[in-house]
A and B are shown apart, each in its own frame.
Chain A
Amino acid sequence: MRFKSINKKIITTVAVVLLINSVIIISAITFITYDKMDKQKTSDLNELALEKSYKISSYLKSSSDLAKHLANFPEISNWTQNPNEANIQEALKFLNNFNMNKEYAALYILNNDGVAIISTEPTFTGNNYSFRPYFKEALNGKASTYVAVGATSKIQGYYFAEPIKNASGQVIGVLSLKLIPDAFYRLLDKEIDNKDTHLMITDRYGVIIYSDLKERMLSSLGSLALSIKDQITTEKKYIGIDIKPLQYQKAQDSLNNLKNNEVSIYKFFDATDKESELISILPINNYPLFLITENASWALSIDAISLASWSASIILLSQLLILIILYFLISKNLKPLKELEKMAKGVTAGDLEIKNNIISGDEIEELGISFSKMTTKLKDYYGDLEEKVLERTKALNEKNDYLNNTKLATLNILDDIKDEKNKTDLLAKDLEKFKLALDNASDLVTITDIEGIILYCNQSVEKITGYSTKESLGKKAGTLWAQPMPTSYYEKLWKTIKTDKKTFDGEIKNKKKNGDLYDAKITISPVLNDKLEIEFFIGIERDITHEKMVDKTKTEFVSLASHQLRTPLSSINWYAEMLLAGDGGKLNDEQSSFVKEIYTGNQRMVELVNSLLNVSRLELGTFAVDPEPTDVVKMVEDVFNELKPGILQKKLKTNFDHAKDIPIIQADPKLFRIVFQNLLSNAVKYTPEAGSITLKLTRNTKNLLIEVSDTGYGIPKQDQARIFQKLFRAENVREKDTEGTGLGLYIIKSIIDHAGGKISFKSEENKGTTFFLEVPLIGMKKKDGDKKIE
């Protein structure tokens, strides 16, 4: 069950890694998202604040504009100066026109003492409002806006005040509008389009005069300083109301430092809601009011969290998928291992019939195959063992039988032993004979190790090299007698025997102990073991100095003799030629025919010498073979042309049939030409007048086939066996003409043999002869030699 645990281990490890990975990824996503959203929300809040502020200030502007407009109205100034009953009635009529929608609680005029002298709201009339800051400011010639709870009405109101001036520009009173903010607040309520967003408006002291959350009304942003509390009381703003601070202390503290139309944003933690909030504060254009927008940032956290949780679930899901895939993959890959385990268990349990079922195409399959091979071997071994046990038991039984038959058994065993002894003796004797033969062989036999160190050499070593057996053993032939050849020769030798592991045959010049050089023919073969590694080299060396000398002498003799023969032949040739050419004066017909006889006779002599030379070279085997691409068809045509005089003279018919697919073959053209020359000139020579000669050239897959037939004298049956022998001439032709040398067919056969071809013939006396030749299409092998055939 170990494989399952590997499986589990891998899966667990991967799962942990994946989990850690996902935690990191999710945290990163959450953090980045939160940060980004935070920024977004801040900028959203900023924009929202500016937009709302604009709307509020536009709304308020209509009221302050109205106040200004009315204050500058000349009739108002007039009515303020003379507040008699008629004027008051006139003024009220006029002012009421501007409050058709009942937006204002009152439109009223205060005199310089702060007493309401004219008011659309009758309850205001006669009251002194000089404590109100808007009155004080307007009296100083400035337009003023003020928010407070009405002293009379107890209703919150927005006060807009404008100084009323007389013709000379003196302030003679204050025109005030008290706006009922209900409609305005309704408008603001509508502006809240998001339940996480809240709007507040505070007065200049930070007291909330509007909030969509009604419970916040008339609380302060933070705790108020005592001086401010006193001021509020003096101004009688919120009579009887206990102003409670909210937690926005930072905002409260900043009020005095805020600039017009500039948004400041603070972050707070709401202890009651347990969430953080973003707060923006913005002074509303020219009014002593602050707009505060609030955005609960838990929404934003929720956004971030939801995004994070989405990504988390996707990541987790995908990793789960990976895990599942991984699980299957691992299970699949571990399956062969399980198979293997099963096999091993089977073997342990004694089941040796296990076959490898693993086809995983990897090392495990290999293991499986080896395993099943092992079990097979094991089985065989067990089988053998059992068989042997059976055999032994049987043998034992048999021996028991023998023992029962004591005498016979003893005799038999004795016989057996005797036989064995005889065999061993014979073998030992054979080996001894063999060693004796080897020791005394005339060729030098050496056995060396792979490095060429001599392990054995026979007695010939002393005779051939001058070194004794003792001197030679344990040394390299290379340091003793094998030195004088060029390095390339030894390189080739070692490559053949050591690298290619083949037998090396060659001729070599070696040096004797006394410094004399000698020629040797050597054969060195590697002896390989079962693994085809070289164990030894066996070298056989024969001193051929003497043979070489004889060869050389023979060659020199032949070439000298032929040279000496050729010199007078040349003279005769050339002088006969000159006579025939008329260089010695014109000859008469008879003289001319005599000289011609001398000339042809001499020509035959030259040919004979050439043939003898060729024979001696062929026999010495020292002629060169120089294969080159040869056009056999062209060659045959040429030879026919050369023989034309004889053919014409005898009025012979000649046919040359050749197949179209005769290839160009690799052959020594000189040697090949000799074959055709001899065959065809024989045909011409031994065919009577008006006969015919046919040469057929065809091919099969391996050979070029040449067939030369004539209608000549034929070869007598009794001579046919000897026809290729040197200097042999058949009886019938010897009688008919004396020209032949008896060497032509001998030379042809030598050449064809050398080319690996065959020659045979069919002949009947007085009917004709056909020669059949086969020459391999692969052509002749190149052979270096110092003699050329002529």
Chain B
Amino acid sequence: MIIFKHKIEKIMSKTNTKKLLIAEDERSIAKALQLKLSLSGFEVDIAVNGEEALDLMKEKKFDLVLLDIMMPKMDGFSVMEAMKKNKNKTPVIILSNLSQEDDSKRAQELGAVDFFVKSNTPLAEIIEKVKKFLKV
């Protein structure tokens, strides 16, 4: 892990880093994402539920939010509704394991820019999509 930290710091010092927020209650998933995204040069914060995500967004301005739907305390949809209320226009990509038409439709209606089913999508593909979206 020490090697990674070193690597990450090295990359971060070089670039004008984009700030990402991961809202994900499953620790292992969040960590995998954070690790991969940090390696790609992003500054990554993790919120373990919807409330925390909203709090963090109040403190800091993010370039992109990777949002899970099923989370304790406050689910992803509620987060997006709250963001709308707060006029927070940070773009959101949904990463969920729900795959019903209803869910993807609702996410789209709330303004999500993309929707991925985690189990059906390789991590590398998600990282690529994020990079592409942020034009890195």
Chain A residues at the B interface, C-beta cutoff of 8 Å: 559, 562-563, 566-567, 569-571, 573-575, 577-578, 581, 583, 585, 606, 609-610, 613, 624, 785-788, 790
Contacts and interface: CB of A to CB of B under 8 A. Distances in A.
Contacts of A562: 97, 99
Most buried by B among A567, A573, A787, A790: A567
14 contacts: A573-B123, A574-B29, A574-B118, A574-B122, A575-B28, A577-B123, A578-B123, A581-B124, A609-B119, A786-B100, A786-B101, A786-B102, A787-B100, A787-B101
A574 B37 CA distance: 13
B131 to A, nearest CB: 15
Contacts of A787: 100-101
A577 B118 contact: no
B113 interface: no
A195 B3 CA distance: 152
A573 B99 contact: no
B101 A578 contact: no
Contacts, number: 67
B101 A570 contact: no
B130 interface: no
Contacts of B35: 578, 583
Given A563-B70, A566-B118, A574 B32 contact: yes
B97 A566 contact: yes
Determine chain B's interface SS by DSSP, over half rule.
Answer: helix
A344 B123 CA distance: 98
A157 to B, nearest CB: 138
Interface of B: 3, 26, 28-29, 32, 35-36, 39, 70, 97-102, 117-120, 122-124
Q: Nearest 8 CB-CB pairs, A to B?
A: A566-B97, A566-B119, A570-B118, A574-B123, A571-B28, A574-B32, A570-B119, A788-B101
Contacts of A559: 98-100
Given A575-B28, A578-B123, A606-B119, A563 B101 contact: no
Given A559-B98, A583-B39, A566 B117 contact: yes
B49 to A, nearest CB: 15
Contacts of B3: 585
A607 to B, nearest CB: 9
B128 to A, nearest CB: 13
Contacts of B118: 566-567, 570, 574
A53 B98 CA distance: 132
Contacts of A786: 100-102
Contacts of A609: 119
B28 to A, nearest CB: 4
Given A567-B26, A571-B26, A788 B100 contact: yes
Contacts of A790: 99, 117, 120
Nearest to A573: B119
Contacts of A788: 99-101
B29 to A, nearest CB: 6
B14 to A, nearest CB: 19
Contact of A610 (B28, B29, B120, B122): B120
A166 B75 CA distance: 161
Contacts of B99: 559, 562, 613, 788, 790
Contacts of B70: 563
